[in-house]
Chains A and B, each alone.
Chain A
Amino acid sequence: MAVFDTTEPQTAGAGADRAWWERIPAAWWALLALLVVLPAFANDFVLFQVMGWTFILGMIALSLMFLAGYGGMVSLIQMSVAALAGYMVAIFGTSGMAELSMGLPWWVYIPVAIVIAAIFGTIVGALAVRTEGIYTIMITLAIASAFFYFTRQNYAIFNGYSGFNLVVPPQLFGVDWRQPVPFYYLTGAMALVCYLAVIYVSRAPFGLVLQGIRDNPRRMAALGYNVTAHRIAAYTFASVIAALGGILLVWQNAQIAPGTAGIPAVIDILVIAVIGGIGRPIGPFIGALIYVLLRTFSPDVLTAIGFEGERFKLLVGLGFLALVFWSPDGVLGMWDRWRAGRARAGDPLTGKGGQ
């Protein structure tokens, strides 16, 4: 894991006296503008099934990226946290299971869902930070599977195998938020907020301390920082992001069941974050887009070339395998190396020819 936030070679002094919007590269503004005007020329399927899923899975993977990239803790619990938030929305809000749902108004159940999911994530984090490296992965994986089996067996609260259906977003400001265009803007805006929040936290003192802990926990402890508390707080922050993603996820699906946080789904989040690259916050969204495109269109492609459409898992698995084998830092890492290669290609004396 290299240094992450220095993508643009910055010359000294430049950028310090410019306004904040001038410091963001033009390409980012172009991307944002493209995303804003996308509904004008994309159909509902692309908006709802492709982009909606990309934003939602990207947010959940973003919470993993925050823990793994800045905290050095690969946590597989994020999908369970998201699913718990989704369950809380179904339980405290309205759903097709009227006898189990409480039907509280949206301004109660959304904060409650986020808080409960954050508490759950914090407790898991408090257990997981007692261990390091591979142990963290194993323990969070084991807890995630316990969550899956528990929701599947528990009928009193989680309605067991069938879960909850007909969980829809509230009708706010006279808008049906489950229509493709409003839902696209809702998920997009939430994804943007989470993305900016992660960027902000990563540059705030808390995030810098976290990155210091990732690189050398003993030195940070010697400097007087409470290593364990910072790690647990990182879990709390990541849980809030995952919870937001989970609430959108349950609205997208309109239902939630134990399978939402089953082991394959938990692994998928890791796959998404790794495919995109856990170096920078944009990575999970790139990974999510690739994953969703593969999932959506590979059955058609596979059928077209004479395979069964169900083999898309094989395709994703092989692609993931190839990627981690040859480029462990994901698509972002490939991109960085490509740029570095182009920059080096210039004439060393004149500096021409390269970037």
Chain B
Amino acid sequence: MPGFVGRHPFWSLVIAVLAALLLWLVFAPWPPGLEQMLGRKRVFLNALFGGITLGALYFLVASGFTLIFGLMRNVNLAHGSLYLFGGYLGFEISEATGSWLLAFPVVFIVVGLLGLLLQHFVFRRMEGEELRQTMVTIGLSVVLADLMLWWWGGQSYTIFAPDWLSGPTTLPIISSVREGGEIVYLRYPAVRMAILVAAIVIGVGMWLLLNRTRVGMLIRAGVDDREMLAASGVRIQYVFLAVFAFGAGLAGIAGIVGGTFQSLSPGEDTRFLLASLVVVIVGGMGSIPGAAIGALVIGLSEQLGLVYAPTYSVVFTFLIMAAVLAFRPQGLLGRAR
């Protein structure tokens, strides 16, 4: 971080000013002039938190995608199908057992096993053939989408959160000040806050795993130079299997999360595949912090765009992607190839 400030004093200043402005917008009660310009503060805060929690969901989906791509150069365009399958499976489990929490480990294991099979039977046979991988995974996603449509039909499902997470929670953020001087704090759905916390925990955990453990060291070495790692005696296929299963499992539990605070229906698979594509293009391929930043940027732009410019919210996402491509083709935190 000090290195960044030293190298880019101007951009550091801009980022610091923007961060300060954002903090002020969040925490300070808004003066009436600002409310006239931007509308109620509650609307802004809701959009902001909606964007952050949506970003958390995107991060869960995209981090698996970017991990798989970064290590193995495997292009898994069936990632969205894994997401949707995990969601449907989580719905069935939580309906059958009545336990929302139980769905997470089961889905993680089942979808992870599916990922193992994918890596072992599909990707291992076509290592390095990116185009063929793309085609095969597109074919797989078409087949999986139709199988899921066959089994679960075209209607949409919502997974219900358990009682202790339903209902709102009060955050220590001022939403508005009533005339009598009474301060109203922001109330926000508890389940979304739980998901946000869980995504942060998972993200930090992944970062620690990658940067502080022996397995993480193997993975990072594999990202840099696969052949040399294999030559130094590491059974790289096992590392590949483990990473693929982990990424797939993450997509699966992201499906439960998505099914809880949005809904599950045919078409969601491509939506989340595209979201993770955009996130990793913006953040940089193969970088976990990049995925986090990309997910946050895309989630925020979608939600704030929906509130302040409903017609063009998609265009914001696209413009961000185009700008990143035009000025930094490897992504914000990606390394030059």
Query: Interface extent on B, as a size class?
Result: 35 or more
Instruction: Please tell me which one of the listed residues B143, B278, B329 contacts residue A317 in the complex, with CB atoms under 8 A apart.
Output: B143
Q: Are A146 and B146 in contact (CB under 8 A)?
A: no
Interface residues of B in 26-77 (CB under 8 A from A): 75
A154 to chain B, nearest CB (A): 6
B186 to chain A, nearest CB (A): 29
Bound complex: CA of A186 vs CA of B27, how far in Å? 65
Instruction: Please tell me which one of the listed residues A138, A155, A321 contacts residue B136 in the complex, with CB atoms under 8 A apart.
Output: A321
Bound complex: CA of A139 vs CA of B278, how far in Å? 8
Tally of A-B residue pairs with Cβ under 8 A? Answer: 100
Residue of B nearest to A137 (CB): B134
A142 at the interface (CB under 8 A from B): yes
Q: Are B318 and A321 in contact (CB under 8 A)?
A: no
B217 at the interface (CB under 8 A from A): no
Q: Are A313 and B146 in contact (CB under 8 A)?
A: yes
Instruction: Please tell me which one of the listed residues A139, A145, A317, A324 contacts residue B325 in the complex, with CB atoms under 8 A apart.
Output: A139
Q: Are B270 and A133 in contact (CB under 8 A)?
A: no
Which residues of A lie under 8 Å from residue B132 when comparing CB positions?
Answer: 324, 328
A131 at the interface (CB under 8 A from B): yes
Bound complex: CA of A74 vs CA of B318, how far in Å? 20
Instruction: Please tell me which one of the listed residues B140, B274, B318, B322 contacts residue A263 in the complex, with CB atoms under 8 A apart.
Output: B274
Which residues of B lie under 8 Å from residue A320 when comparing CB positions?
Answer: 135, 138-139, 142
Bound complex: CA of A101 vs CA of B136, how far in Å? 42
Bound complex: CA of A181 vs CA of B285, how far in Å? 51
Which residues of A lie under 8 Å from residue B146 when comparing CB positions?
Answer: 311, 313-314, 317
Bound complex: CA of A318 vs CA of B138, how far in Å? 11
A257 at the interface (CB under 8 A from B): no
Residue of B nearest to A152 (CB): B314
Annotate B128-168 by CB proximity to A: 1 below 8 A, 0 otherwise.
01111011101110110111001000000000000000000
B97 at the interface (CB under 8 A from A): no
A225 to chain B, nearest CB (A): 21
Interface residues of A in 120-149 (CB under 8 A from B): 127, 130-131, 133-135, 137-139, 141-143, 145-146, 149
Bound complex: CA of A139 vs CA of B325, how far in Å? 9
Q: Are B140 and A142 in contact (CB under 8 A)?
A: no
Q: Are B274 and A74 in contact (CB under 8 A)?
A: no
A59 at the interface (CB under 8 A from B): no
Bound complex: CA of A311 vs CA of B134, how far in Å? 23
B189 to chain A, nearest CB (A): 26
Which residues of A lie under 8 Å from residue B236 when comparing CB positions?
Answer: none
A130-B326, A155-B311 known, 14 other contacts, Cβ within 8 Å: A135-B281, A135-B285, A137-B75, A139-B321, A139-B325, A141-B277, A142-B274, A143-B318, A145-B270, A149-B314, A153-B314, A314-B143, A317-B142, A321-B140
A residues with CB within 8 A of B: 74, 127, 130-131, 133-135, 137-139, 141-143, 145-146, 149-150, 153-156, 263, 267, 270-271, 274, 308, 311, 313-314, 316-318, 320-321, 324-325, 328
B residues with CB within 8 A of A: 75, 129-132, 134-136, 138-140, 142-143, 145-147, 150, 270, 274, 277-278, 281, 285, 310-315, 317-318, 321-322, 325-326, 329
Provide 27 A-B residue pairs closer than 8 Å at the C-beta atoms, listed in order of the A residue: A127-B322, A130-B329, A135-B281, A137-B134, A138-B277, A141-B274, A141-B277, A142-B278, A142-B321, A146-B318, A146-B321, A153-B313, A154-B311, A155-B311, A263-B274, A270-B135, A313-B146, A314-B143, A316-B142, A317-B140, A318-B139, A320-B139, A320-B142, A324-B136, A324-B139, A328-B129, A328-B131
Which 5 A-B pairs give the minimum distances between C-beta atoms? A317-B142, A321-B139, A146-B318, A317-B143, A149-B314
